[in-house]
Amino acid sequence: MDKPVLTLRDLSIEFPMPQGIVQAVKSLSLDIHKGRRVGFIGESGSGKTTTALAVMQMLAEPGRVAGGSIDLGGTDILALTEEQMRGTRLARIAYIPQGAMNSLNPVMRIEPQMWDGIIAHEGHVDRATLKARSDAALESVGLPKHTADLYPHELSGGMKQRVCIAMGIILNPELIIADEPTSALDVVTQRQVMQTLKDIQSQIGSGLMLIGHDMGLMAQTVDELAVLKDGELVEHGVVKQILEAPKHPYTQDLISSVPLVGGDSFLNPDARADAPERDSPEPLLRFENVRKDYGAVTALHPMSFTLQGDTPQIISIVGQSGSGKSTMGSIMLGFNPPSEGKVLFEGQDVQAMGAAQSLDFRKNVQAVFQDPYACFNPFYRVNHALKFPFKQFGLAQSDAHTQTAMEEACDAVGLDPDLVLTRYPHQLSGGQRQRLIVARALMLSPKLLIADEPVSMVDASLRASILSNIYDLKDKYGISILYITHDLATAYHVSDYVMVLFKGHVVEAGPPKDVIGAPQHPYTQLLIDSIPWPDLERSWGDGRDNWDPTELEAEAERAQAVYRGDVPGFDLVRI
């Protein structure tokens, strides 16, 4: 085998902080060979991105390489001057950033942005050559030539990310570093972008360092896997070996935390208990021909359903971004008035409530949002978020009672109340905050909980435990839950009924075993095929080469909605 493209030897990176020195990476040694794809996987803060930035010599202040060496195909990176390093970036190491939407200059067309890289490294190049090279690069990532004349805002997220890839490979680098290149994209686009990246990498034969936290994506993309935890390389090997026989307990956790459709459930079946009786004969929630327009665009086409709520159920609403699922959520919460139709909560129109009714509605309909970082007011300690609604809804009998209720709620979601309640939000991790939000909902014992992507911003290893927290609440406290998500695997496990939304229409609905386990509508099939499985046998759906989502989407648009059987207590009006 020839010399590796990148050799890391005992690499240590540290950040001197007021509190002391933080060791971000601890003596990491690794080789990346030509044409090999190496995945770096680990939770946020495990040192993946820091390692990549060190290779680029772009560590953020005050980070510094404390020891070890970085060798790029015979060049000692750490010994290069700033000017030599500038010449090395892009020409020899390309970096594909996480948020492609922010990486392109919004006031420049695509073409000149691509030329910038060439000119910066090769000096004056005549226009025809530049044009030929940028066109070739765009073509290689599967974008039409006229993309070159567009501005970034005219492209979709997936196209922007592909433009970033095209820019990265325009100088045929020896090493491509891709830092969670698809984390902001939905599954269908993710699959498309990853395939582009794989193709182009094998074409130019460079090494690829793929940073991510999704075991499934890694399994479908890379040859070797490096597992990082707290700055240490805990396991490194060929993907097959790591997936089939993980040695380190952390790796085992990572693999087992990925929910599979049809796999073992991560839920606790013993939590079932009798739900409290409801005192209203009216159905809990009812949509009557609800439609929502944003300007000329219809985000949600007329939809009617009734959720009885006598037995607590979890109804999942799945779809890509832009399918109208979050719009549905905000309409249910009354944040967003429907353009047409009515939302009835226990027979009351949500948009036409008096002050007292409104307070009652707020108490009974609670939500868990996507971003656990934004949900706490940075000014207050976190117990403010729990205490305030409890008092506001008149549930608190005394301060001591509030305190006990908060402690109980924390215990119920597996948090130590003494440890978390008196902290400020920035002192807690994303997982802890999201659990606190669940605890908050629990204290209020609502009748309906709207969970809008509750785990999409939480580390993979925590997702399962937060979802099972939510799931346990359903039976324990008799809460009906609307689970809005793009993640079909978790919807498969937690829900009693699934609705698949595509461009504001329900395209397939029914029990999850049918809809997700054996999809019939082309769109549901497309979604399921796009999920990267942590399973080498199952090569990204069926492994067809001519997989073209645009065509499949067009097909999906022509197809009729498929209704797959009913579940008592939930009644979707078929259109």
Partner 1 sequence: MATQDQIPPTRAERRQARRIRRFDNPWLNPKLLWGAGFLVGIIILGLVGRMLWDLELVFTGSSPLKLPPIGFENLRGQPGVLEHPLGTDGGGRDLLALIIIGAPNTLFVGLLASLIGMSIGIFLGFSAGFLGGRVDDVIRVGADVMITIPPLLILVVFQSAFGDVTLTMMALLIAGFVWQSPTRLIRAQVLSMKQSGYVQMAQLSGASTGHIMFREMLPNLVPYLFGSFIASVTTSIVTAVGLEVLGLGPQRIPTLGRTIYEAINAGALIQNLWWWWGLPTLLLGVIFIGLLLINLGLDEVSNPRLRRLS
Using CB under 8 A, list all residues that contact partner 1: 18, 20-21, 62, 333, 335, 358-359, 362-363, 366-367, 369, 371, 373-380, 385, 388-389, 392-393, 437, 440
CA dist 505 and 507 (Å) reads: 6
Q: How far is the CB of 355 from partner 1 (least distance, A)?
A: 9
* Strands 340-345 vs 448-452: parallel, antiparallel or unpaired: unpaired
Nearest Cα residue to 473 out of 498, 441, 505: 441
b/e per residue, 328-358, with b = 16+ CB within 10 A?
Answer: bbebbbbebebeebbbbbbebebeebeeeee
Q: How far is CA 100 from CA 96, 150, 568, in A?
A: 8, 15, 45
Of 393 and 563, the one with the shorter C-beta distance to partner 1 is 393
Q: How far is the CB of 102 from partner 1 (least distance, A)?
A: 17
Q: Are 180 and 197 in contact (CB under 8 A)?
A: no
CA dist 259 and 257 (Å) reads: 6
Contact partners, residue 562, CB within 8 Å, separation at least 6: 507, 508, 509, 510, 520, 521, 524
Of 181 and 389, the one with the shorter C-beta distance to partner 1 is 389
Of 24 and 163, the one with the shorter C-beta distance to partner 1 is 24
Q: How far is the CB of 392 from partner 1 (least distance, A)?
A: 5
Of 119 and 374, the one with the shorter C-beta distance to partner 1 is 374
Of 369 and 477, the one with the shorter C-beta distance to partner 1 is 369
Q: How far is the CB of 20 from partner 1 (least distance, A)?
A: 5
Of 389 and 532, the one with the shorter C-beta distance to partner 1 is 389
Of 104 and 365, the one with the shorter C-beta distance to partner 1 is 365
Q: How far is the CB of 382 from partner 1 (least distance, A)?
A: 11
Structure tokens at 159: 């196209």
CA dist 547 and 526 (Å) reads: 10
Dihedral angle of Cα 193, 197, 200, 206, to the nearest 10 degrees: 170
Residue with tokens 């030929």, as numbered in its chain: 132
Q: Which residue type is seen at 103?
A: S
Q: How far is the CB of 384 from partner 1 (least distance, A)?
A: 9
Q: How far is the CB of 115 from partner 1 (least distance, A)?
A: 32
Q: How far is the CB of 364 from partner 1 (least distance, A)?
A: 11
The phi and psi torsions of 208 (rounded to 5 degrees) equal -130, 130
HEC readout, 78-130 = HHCCHHHHHHHECCCEEEECCCHHHHCCCCCCHHHHHHHHHHHHHCCCCHHHH
* Strands 224-229 vs 207-212: parallel, antiparallel or unpaired: unpaired
Of 369 and 540, the one with the shorter C-beta distance to partner 1 is 369
Of 248 and 384, the one with the shorter C-beta distance to partner 1 is 384
Q: How far is the CB of 295 from partner 1 (least distance, A)?
A: 17
